[in-house]
Structure 1
Amino acid sequence: MKYLTAMYISLSESLGIYTRDQLHELLSNNQHSMPISRHRAAILQSRVFFFCAIFAVLVPTWSLIDRLFLPDSLWLELVLIRLLSATAFALLAWQARKEPDLKRARFMLAGMLSVTPLFYLVSNHWLQAYELSGTEQVIAELYALLPFVMIAGLTLFPLTLKELLAYATPMLAVVVLSSLPETKSDIPQAVSTIWLFSLILGVAMFASLNQLRYMLSQVNRASYDVLTGLLTRRAGIEMLDLQYRLATISENNLSILYLDLDHFKTVNDVYGHDAGDVVLKFAAQQLSATVRKGDSVIRWGGEEFIIILPTATPDEANDVIARVMKAGLGSRPDGTPVTASIGVAEVQADTVKDWKALIELADHRMYTAKTSGRARSVGIQETQLLWPASSAQCIARSTADAPATVSDNQPEPVAS
């Protein structure tokens, strides 16, 4: 047991696994974020394209070698299956040039991995129908290496363990089926073939998982802000672009909240940047905890945040704002509450031409909220929600701003 534990620890460290979440990320993609899924889809499709483009050329070209050494009748049969395989590879290469999508990438990889075993099974059936010897037999035996080539190719794809097993199991079944011994003397050859395939499969699994672990660490580093743990602006732009295109294609709602913490500069100036970091971090935690499941919070820059609300109507966006105001964003070092000025924009109601225009509109309304007294949101048709009176008045007194008058302690709609 002690040796098994030591082996597990050694293997985990070699794969960069130090937490349970990191282990789950390698087992399945259920916990992968959208930036990771999009990046992985792009890698999978680009490598499927590379492999398929090469195979589309090499597979029919090999028929020249078959022509030199194999019987004419066998050569004609193999040419037919080679042309069909090359066509399949060419179609997959063409599909791989489309917009990266993880579901599409998986299907294309499955298609690529299925063409070669099918080619092998058919060609092996034809080859066994002929009595071959010498160079002919050597050429025929090269066909048996095709499943090994494909399983070794998995080392270039960042796959989870679940995906690896799903792709490798059919190929293992093909190898076992084709290696079944007909006589007792064939048993050692069958065992060695299956053992060699299993060994290459193990190496491919380790290499693929290691590649996935490295990709996860790099994408997480580039996609998530170190201080707040929110999406970075770069990752947020990818998210915005994707959600905007999905909303326009399906004609669904998509709301954007642009938040700017009120008087944050005074926190840095009076109490220092360390205190400002504490305020930012807690505000980010509050935003993440308050928004809906499926919403995305982005640190846009400094004390500015953007919240993407897929399928949210303007009224639903206001509901999210009301929850944010009620939950609060924490306190400043002097004990006064942190508030924010918020601008709202929505794809269908505002009929913008792209996501950049949507952000600009939300930014403009956020600026309107600031010039109107801060601690409020400004949405479509200048509809406003005010921060709870106790928070707004307290922060106003601490900054010598005129207080925003509200009738109670809950966010209240105000006509423009």
Structure 2
Amino acid sequence: MKYLTAMYISLSESLGIYTPDQLYELFTNKQHSMPISRHRATIMQSRVFFFCAIFAVLVPTWSLIDLLFLPGKLWGELLLIRILSGAAFILLAWQARKEASLLRARLLLAGMLSVTPLFYLVSDHWLQAYELSDTEQVVAELYALLPFVMVAGLTLFPLTLRELLAYAAPMLIVVVIAVIPQAKNDIPQAVSTIWLFTLILGVAMFASLNQLRYMLSQVNRASYDVLTGLLTRRAGIEMLDLQYRLTTMSESNLSILYLDLDHFKTVNDVYGHDAGDVVLKTAAQQLCATVRKGDSVIRWGGEEFIVILPTATPDEANDVITRLMKAGLGTRPDGTPVTASIGVAEVQADTTKDWKAMIELADHRMYTAKTGGRARSMGINDTQLLWPECSNAEAIQNPEEVLPATS
């Protein structure tokens, strides 16, 4: 038991696993963030394209070697399936050049991994039908290496454990079927072949999981702000671009909030940057606790934040702002409440051409709110909402839209 525990600890440390959540991330992709999934899909599709492009050339070209060493009739049969396999690889390579998505990447990898085992099964059936000389038998034995080559290729893909086992299981079945002993003397060779395949699979599993763990750590580091834990500007841009394209295709709503904390510079100047960091962290926590489950919060820069509200109409965006103003963004070191100037933009109501135009419009409205007295939001058609702490004397023209002050 101690040996197994020590082996588990050693394996975990080699993979950089220190928490149950990190272990779960290697087992399945259910907890992977969207930036991680998109990055993984891009890597998988690019490598599928690379492999398929090479195989599309090498598989038919190998027929020249078959022509030199194998019987003419057998060569013709193998040439046919080589051409079909090459065509399949060309089709997969073409599909791999399309926009990356995790579903497409998985299907393309499954297609690539299925072509070679099928080719191996058909070719092995034909090879068994011929009496081959020693030289011909050596060439024929090379076909048996195809499943091993494919399972070794899994080392280049950042796969979860569930994905890797799902891809490897059919290839293992193919190998078992191909080496089923016909006589008692064939049993040792069959066992050694299956053992070799399992050994290579174990190495591929370790390499693939190690690659995935490294990618998770790097993407998380680049995607999440160290101080607040929110999406970074770089990761937020990817999210904005994706959400805008999805909204355009479905002709649905999409709102964004552009927030700038009021008088934040004075906190740093008077109380120091450590106090400013506390204000930023508290404001970020409040934002995450207030927005809807499917919304995304981005630290856009300094004391500026952007909230992405998929499917949210202007009224629903105002509802989020209302909850945020009532919940608050924390307090400053002097005990006064933290407020923000907020600009709102919505894709349908504002008829923006792209997400950049939405950001510019929300930024402009945020600046209008700031110059209009701060502690308020500026939305579509100059709709404003005041922070509860804002006095009624600063109220906007539509007083019914002003939030009541909290006790």
Measured against the shorter chain, the TM-score band is over 0.9
Task: Tell me the residue number matched to 1:381.
Answer: 381
Q: How far did 1:411 drift? A: 2.6
SS of alignment partner, residue 392 of structure 1: coil
Task: Tell me the residue number matched to 1:166.
Answer: 166
Aligned residue pair count: 403
Report matched runs for 1:81-120 at 5 Å.
81-120=81-120
Give the conservation status (yes or no) of the 8 Å contact 2:366–2:377. yes
Report matched runs for 1:40-59 at 5 Å.
40-59=40-59
Query: What amino acid sits opposite 2:250 in the alignment?
Result: S
Task: Tell me the residue number matched to 1:152.
Answer: 152
Query: What amino acid sits opposite 1:31 in the alignment?
Result: Q
Report matched runs for 1:63-82 at 5 Å.
63-82=63-82
Task: Tell me the residue number matched to 1:4.
Answer: 4
1:200 and 1:170 map into 2 onto residues whose CA distance is 15
Task: Tell me the residue number matched to 2:304.
Answer: 304
1:242 and 1:31 map into 2 onto residues whose CA distance is 19
Give the conservation status (yes or no) of the 8 Å contact 1:373–1:404. no
1:182 and 1:211 map into 2 onto residues whose CA distance is 40
1:407 and 1:274 map into 2 onto residues whose CA distance is 38
Give the conservation status (yes or no) of the 8 Å contact 1:244–1:354. yes
Task: Tell me the residue number matched to 1:238.
Answer: 238
Q: How far did 1:392 drift? A: 2.9
TM-score (ref. length: structure 2):
0.97
Match status 1:30 vs 2:51: no
2:274 and 2:41 map into 1 onto residues whose CA distance is 39
1:154 and 1:41 map into 2 onto residues whose CA distance is 15
Q: How far did 1:409 drift? A: 12
2:349 and 2:96 map into 1 onto residues whose CA distance is 36
Query: What amino acid sits opposite 1:19 in the alignment?
Result: T
2:129 and 2:76 map into 1 onto residues whose CA distance is 14
RMSD value over aligned CA atoms? 1.6
Task: Tell me the residue number matched to 1:363.
Answer: 363
Q: How far did 1:362 drift? A: 0.4
1:303-354 alpha-carbon deviations (Å, 9 max, x no partner): 0000011111111111111111111100000000001111110111111111
1:182 and 1:162 map into 2 onto residues whose CA distance is 33
2:71 and 2:153 map into 1 onto residues whose CA distance is 31
Q: How far did 1:371 drift? A: 1.4
2:134 and 2:182 map into 1 onto residues whose CA distance is 22
SS of alignment partner, residue 352 of structure 2: coil
Aligned-residue sequence identity (percent) comes to 84
1:27 and 1:319 map into 2 onto residues whose CA distance is 38
Give the conservation status (yes or no) of the 8 Å contact 1:339–1:392. no
Query: What amino acid sits opposite 2:113 in the alignment?
Result: L
- Which segments of 5 or more consecutive residues in structure 1 lack a partner in the other structure? 397-401
Query: What amino acid sits opposite 2:72 in the alignment?
Result: D
Query: What amino acid sits opposite 1:304 in the alignment?
Result: E
2:322 and 2:159 map into 1 onto residues whose CA distance is 41
1:76 and 1:124 map into 2 onto residues whose CA distance is 15
Give the conservation status (yes or no) of the 8 Å contact 2:385–2:401. no
Task: Tell me the residue number matched to 1:399.
Answer: none
2:330 and 2:44 map into 1 onto residues whose CA distance is 43
Match status 1:281 vs 2:281: yes
2:134 and 2:179 map into 1 onto residues whose CA distance is 21
Task: Tell me the residue number matched to 1:131.
Answer: 131
Give the conservation status (yes or no) of the 8 Å contact 2:16–2:213. yes
2:322 and 2:21 map into 1 onto residues whose CA distance is 33
Q: How far did 1:407 drift? A: 7.7
Task: Tell me the residue number matched to 2:403.
Answer: 411
2:403 and 2:172 map into 1 onto residues whose CA distance is 62
